[in-house]
């Protein structure tokens, strides 16, 4: 179970969740995307209109629905979704007084037995949680539920500064709420090969974060930004474009790392 997080807005979290999910499903791994962002961009990008978002992440966190009831299929074979709507912005406040407010998503997933001791118990090989651009209760719930974090990092000047804040939060969650939480990897996004700064930032991040950085880099690619308005993952909208190809490579790396992690 992986959480896609970075408190910085617009760095490619949703794009990464959608396209990794699609790539994993395409190689035969049943995958669930959980949209825990009130913006609902992952839900829109996967082609699920508002009218079809009946039971959502909000209902699950509030205890008004079981996870199983909120899971809906997408147009992509083997890719399912728990959608979100703006209602979810209220959840943050409503959860403050609730029991186990940090663990509500984890509890819902446990009941669904995604973590079941026998592998056959969950129909999903992968669960990807798409976070909002904040480190508040919604993101904490995702980090408490997950085994590892995938961090999209945009190749721009302040990338490393934002990263240190995120690393501190991951450390806090690990110390207090989820000792098993790891960083699966950092993915450099919107890399522009014509821009020297992109190269510089990529080199800096690799120097600081070493092997945590995936070798796959996601290029800036207009086809990727066009895809969501068609309600399609870039991988379906234009499989051959450089962005889609990069996400397929990234999925390969992610599967490899997940195997090593589970074997450890
Ligand atoms: N590799 C890319 N090339 C070009 N455009 C991209 C790329 N990745 C993401 N984008 C575009 O950049 C914008 C932000 O991406 P995305 O929504 O994935 O970021 P986010 O981190 O989820 O944002 P938020 O913090 O608002 O949730 C979107 O319009 C998206 O289509
Ligand atoms: Mg997003």
**Mean per-residue pLDDT, 192-200:** 91
Mutate to test the pocket of ligand 1, among 19, 191, 218, 225 (most ligand atoms within 8 A of CB): 225
Query: Quick check: CB of 133 below 6 Å from ligand 1?
Result: yes
Res 56: pLDDT: 98
Residues near ion ligand 2 (Cβ under 5 Å): 13-14, 41
Res 158: pLDDT: 83
**Mean per-residue pLDDT, 152-173:** 92
192: which 2 tokens?
Answer: 């522009």
Res 261: pLDDT: 85
pLDDT tens for each residue of 7-47 = 999 999 999 999 999 999 999 999 999 999 999 999 999 99
Query: Quick check: CB of 198 below 6 Å from ligand 1?
Result: no
Res 120: pLDDT: 45
Query: Quick check: CB of 189 below 6 Å from ligand 1?
Result: yes
Res 121: pLDDT: 63
209: which 2 tokens?
Answer: 């974060």
Which residues, listed in sequence order, are joined to residue 72 by a DSSP beta bridge?
A: 81
Dihedral in degrees, nearest 10, Cα atoms 93, 99, 103, 104? -70
Which atom of ligand 1 is the closest one to the Cα of 16? Answer: 18
Which residues, listed in sequence order, are joined to residue 151 by a DSSP beta bridge?
A: 186
Q: Where are the beta strands (DSSP E) in the chain?
A: 2-4, 31-35, 71-73, 79-82, 126-130, 148-154, 182-189
Q: For residue 195, what are the CA distances in angstroms to 28, 160, 188, 230?
A: 37, 18, 14, 29
pLDDT tens for each residue of 92-145 = 999 999 999 999 999 999 988 754 444 446 789 999 999 999 999 999 999 999
Domain span holding position 58: 2-263
Cα 119 to ligand 2 centre (Å) = 30
Tell me which ligand sits closest to the C-alpha of residue 19.
1
Number of domains forming the structure of the chain: 1
Res 114: pLDDT: 57
140: which 2 tokens?
Answer: 């904490």
* pTM, rounded to two decimals: 0.96
């Amino acid at each position: 179970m992986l959480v896609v997080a970075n408190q910085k807005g617009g760095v490619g979290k949703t794009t990464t969740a959608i396209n990794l999910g699609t790539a994993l499903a395409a190689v035969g791994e049943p995958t669930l995307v959980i949209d825990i962002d009130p913006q609902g961009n992952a839900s829109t990008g996967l082609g699920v209109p508002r009218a079809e978002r009946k039971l959502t992440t909000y209902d699950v966190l509030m205890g008004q629905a079981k996870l199983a009831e909120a899971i809906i299929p997408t147009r992509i074979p083997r890719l399912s979704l728990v959608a979100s709507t703006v209602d979810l912005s209220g959840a943050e406040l409503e959860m403050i007084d609730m029991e186990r407010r940090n663990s509500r998503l984890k509890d819902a997933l446990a009941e669904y037995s995604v973590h079941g001791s026998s592998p056959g118990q969950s129909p999903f090989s992968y669960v990807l949680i798409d976070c909002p651009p904040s480190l508040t209760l919604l993101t904490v719930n995702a980090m408490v539920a997950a085994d590892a974090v995938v961090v999209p990092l945009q190749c721009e000047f302040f990338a490393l500064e934002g990263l240190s804040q995120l690393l501190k939060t991951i450390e806090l969650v690990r110390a207090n709420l989820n000792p098993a939480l790891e960083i699966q990897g950092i993915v450099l996004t919107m890399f522009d090969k014509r821009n020297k700064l992109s190269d510089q930032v990529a080199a800096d991040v690799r120097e600081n974060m070493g092997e945590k950085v995936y070798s796959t880099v996601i290029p800036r690619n207009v086809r990727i930004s066009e895809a969501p308005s068609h309600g399609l993952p870039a991988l379906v909208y234009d499989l051959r474009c450089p962005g889609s190809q990069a996400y397929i490579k990234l999925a390969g790396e992610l599967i490899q790392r997940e195997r090593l992690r589970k074997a450890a």
